[in-house]
Chain A
Amino acid sequence: MTPFGQVAGVAAPMMAPNVDTDVIMPKMFLKGVDRSGLGEGAFNLLRFSGGRVNPDFILNQDGYRDACFLVVGPNFGCGSSREHAVWGLEQLGIRALIGTSFAGIFNDNCANNGLLTISLDPERVTELASVIADRSRNDVAVDLAAQTIRFDQGRRTMPFEIEPARKEAFLTGRDFIAATLVYADDIRAFEARHRAASPWMF
């Protein structure tokens, strides 16, 4: 996964609740065997309408086209387990999502790819969303090591929580499989005990 340190850029508000992975990555883009072309797929049916750019969609509007943060509504990423949604957001240039809650599989997929998800209290998310809705004040800087979000042209800062193991993984961009294979002997020992206890499972 890509390491995440300090990232600064434009944030776009997308406050609808329950934005699902069918919307983030429509099914037409799921027929590949690799990760290519998913930047085009991300929010495709919202970004384009009848082959034309949809001017109502936030990421098509002046000041938000190059957003690298999305400030989102509750339960973002619900629905299908398709990791293509996360790959597509990354290919679109999104580095972090800031919201109240993220759906479980989607949140894990983000963590496995270096797309940071930051959970804040609803009041904080609303405060951030209202500031960045003003396109002259839509700049945000996220410092993962310091666990802070700086916004409102650098005038305001809010802290965020993140589990230490998750933070470490984001900062270093770890290969989780290599890290787990260090414990190969533990896995084999577990398997032997498990097989003895429940032989019908094997």
Chain B
Amino acid sequence: MAARTLYDKLVDAHVVRNLDAAGLVLLYVDRTVLNEYTSPQAFAGLRAAGRKVWNPGAALMVVDHVNPTAARRVRVMPDSAATRQVDYFAENARDFGIEYFDILDPRQGIEHVVAPEQGLVMPGMVIAAGDSHSTAYGAFGALGYGIGTSDIEHYLATSTVRYRRLKTMRIHLSGTAAPFGVTPKDIVMEVIRRIGADGATGYAVEFSGPAVSDMSVEGRIVMSIMIVEAGARGVVIAPDQKVLDYLKGRPRSPKGEMWERAATSWLALSSDPSAKFDREVTLDVSEVAPLVTWGTSPDQAIAVTDDVPDPVQQAEPARKAAAMRALSYMGLTPGTSIQSVPIDFAFIGSCTNARIEDLRDAAEIFRGRRVAAGVRAIVVPGSTQVRAQAEAEGLAKVFTDAGVEWRQSGCSMCLAMNDDVLSPGQRCASSTNRNFEGRQGPGARTHLMSPAMVAAAAVTGRITDVRSLLGGSHQ
């Protein structure tokens, strides 16, 4: 058999049948996670057609987008539309026999944090879910990708999706990142900046290389989630011992002899050495600096040491116009040092950056410091378990001592579908993945960066090179 990529192997292992000669297949999907806002119309469709869920045991339902993050948590939502959405969600879980974590469940949280935490994501799986950041699961050697509501309905009714094979792109990461201040978030932002917001459209991405092996599983999740901002429609990373160590003993991980069989199978998952990719991208991570976005697309980013770029440098007219519009929306002038830009708000959270390692990074900066006057900073952990762990490790106290609000888990101000919303014109240092116009509230201005960089901005009151706060004594 010809040499194959890991992506091709995962697809081949899940083809129920070919649907045409051009690569359209019926693909078996092992698992999904459902949220309250992309699933209602799918269940309504099933109800209208009198259809059942093919395999209710393969799905999990988690409220994550609309729930408030206020410290005292109750089941009732403050907003009637959110209440109706959550009520219908619970009704669907009950009627179709699907497991459901409501907002008081100790296992609840953001779907992409909860699913790996529970051991529901295993190497070799195909996982499609109604959220674009479902690429997260690539970090485990599973093929993860996002789908819309019609495809959710199709999946629920058949355990399959209609799927067209993607082209493959390998992103090879060599070198060693700077010891502190340069994180997986910076590395993936650098890749996106280089290939553009549509640079991986139509591709499944495999991350490989020594810098990936060096990275923790949580760091790999960050990259797998964020590369969707370059258009990647699926991510895989070959599983290694670190993945096994992460999964062992999780609630839904296999046990005993079944674990041994699974682990042997998982460690055999990789691209053949001579497999050909349709596109290769390489990056020496030792060249990467902490990054920050200046515009309204995730590829509009610069090193924190740089100045806001001048759109005149853009040759292509539509991109030039887009850059000018972005600068106007963001209230920035070309040539300004990005480190002179003051912030109003600091947000650490989201499926990208609200895991325990992210909170440890942020706490490192907040320890012994205070949030600058005039800045509001909130930390929203990715799950109730992450929250409990952060409290056990003393991180929560570091945050509150620094004047940071310590919240309950949820998607919160990543897309601001709950009551955590910025006001028009407010500028936010954000650990999230999207800086689109209106994303964190109409007129809100978002600068994407790593959690450590957000913390640095919070304590100085302006966008700051986190490396300048490291070493030496704290204030």
Contact = CB atoms under 8 A, between A and B. Distances in A.
Interface of A: 15-18, 20, 22-23, 26-27, 30-35, 45, 73-75, 78-83, 86, 101, 103-106, 108-109, 112-113, 163-165, 176-177, 180-181, 183-184, 186-187, 190-191, 194, 197-202
B19 interface: yes
Contact of B417 (A27, A112, A186): A27
B44 A20 contact: no
B154 A79 contact: no
A81 B20 contact: no
B410 interface: no
B168 to A, nearest CB: 14
Contacts of A31: 37, 66, 79, 81-82, 84-85, 417
Given A75-B197, A109-B151, 12 more contacts: A34-B44, A78-B229, A82-B148, A83-B149, A103-B198, A109-B148, A109-B149, A112-B151, A180-B157, A181-B157, A187-B28, A194-B28
Given A27-B415, A109-B148, A33 B44 contact: yes
Interface stretch (B211-219, B314-322, B380-388, B460-468): B314-322
B306 to A, nearest CB: 21
Interface of B: 13-14, 16-17, 19-20, 22, 24, 26, 28, 30-31, 37-38, 40-41, 44, 49, 51, 54, 57, 66, 79, 81-82, 84-85, 88, 122, 124-125, 130-132, 146-151, 153-154, 157-160, 162, 197-198, 201-202, 229, 231, 233, 254, 258-259, 261-262, 265, 297, 299, 318-319, 321-322, 325, 415-417, 434, 436-439, 442
A45 B31 CA distance: 36
Contact of A186 (B22, B26, B297, B434): B26
A30 B37 contact: yes
Contacts of A202: 57
24 contacts: A18-B198, A22-B415, A31-B417, A32-B81, A32-B85, A75-B231, A81-B147, A81-B148, A83-B150, A103-B201, A103-B231, A105-B132, A105-B148, A105-B233, A108-B151, A112-B150, A176-B150, A177-B49, A180-B154, A183-B17, A186-B26, A191-B159, A199-B261, A200-B259
A81 B128 CA distance: 12
Given A32-B40, A75-B231, A104-B231, A81 B130 contact: yes
Given A27-B415, A200-B261, A78 B153 contact: no
B321 A16 contact: yes
A78 B38 contact: no
Nearest to A187: B16
B153 A177 contact: yes
B258 A22 contact: no
A17 B146 contact: no
B258 A108 contact: no
A22 B436 contact: yes
A17 B147 CA distance: 22
A44 B321 CA distance: 21
Nearest to B125: A201
Given A81-B130, A83-B38, A176-B154, A23 B437 contact: yes
A105 B417 contact: no
Contacts of B434: 20, 22, 79-80
A116 B33 CA distance: 29
B226 to A, nearest CB: 13
